[in-house]
């Protein structure tokens, strides 16, 4: 089974609007971390946001927030007030503490295009 599933290969959003990128995960560990990365066309992976499985509040970093629904095993990324520079690939990733503590599992990514 896939550890991370991103079901939206491509998304479009109007500039200044908010957009949600979906991510579901599969783990039997109680302790794990969820991450989102941005990969522009230049290729470098840029860390955006982190959510620990025991964190009670949703993580926020500037215009990025992570909508963490533990029971549903989802960790959606919300980007508010989209900017043209947000156009990129976005990857959701997970790290399990116990079973595979040193491995990050990445999804297949969502390509976001911001329309002026």
Q: What is the binding site for other proteins (CB under 8 A)? A: 4, 33, 35, 37, 42-47, 50, 52, 91, 93, 95, 97, 101-109
> Is the C-alpha dihedral spanning 99, 100, 104, 105 positive or negative?
negative
Q: 72-91 b/e with 16+ CB inside 10 Å = b?
A: eebbbbbbeebeeebbbbbb
Provide the minimum distance between the beta carbon of 116 and other proteins in the complex, in angstroms, as a whole number. 26
Looking at beta carbons only, is 17 or 73 nearer to other proteins? 73
Provide the minimum distance between the beta carbon of 69 and other proteins in the complex, in angstroms, as a whole number. 20
Q: CA 27, 70, 108, 39: dihedral to nearest 10 degrees? A: -120
Looking at beta carbons only, is 51 or 82 nearer to other proteins? 51
Query: Quick count: other Cβ atoms within 10 Å of Cβ 17?
Result: 12
**Parallel, antiparallel, or unpaired for β 88-96 and 74-79?**
unpaired
Provide the minimum distance between the beta carbon of 112 and other proteins in the complex, in angstroms, as a whole number. 15
DSSP state of 44: -
Looking at beta carbons only, is 88 or 107 nearer to other proteins? 107
Provide the minimum distance between the beta carbon of 83 and other proteins in the complex, in angstroms, as a whole number. 22
Looking at beta carbons only, is 19 or 59 nearer to other proteins? 59
């Amino acid at each position: 089974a896939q550890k991370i599933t991103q079901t939206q290969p491509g998304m479009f959003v109007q500039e200044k609007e908010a957009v949600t990128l979906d991510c579901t995960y599969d783990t039997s560990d109680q302790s794990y971390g969820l991450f989102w990365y941005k990969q522009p066309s230049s290729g470098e992976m840029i860390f955006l946001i982190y959510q620990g499985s025991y964190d009670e509040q949703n993580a926020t970093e500037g215009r990025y927030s992570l909508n963490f629904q533990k029971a549903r095993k989802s960790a959606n990324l919300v980007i508010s007030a989209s900017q043209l520079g947000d156009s990129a690939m976005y990857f959701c990733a997970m790290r399990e503490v116990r079973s595979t503590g040193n491995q990050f599992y990445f999804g297949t990514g969502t390509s976001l295009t911001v329309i002026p």
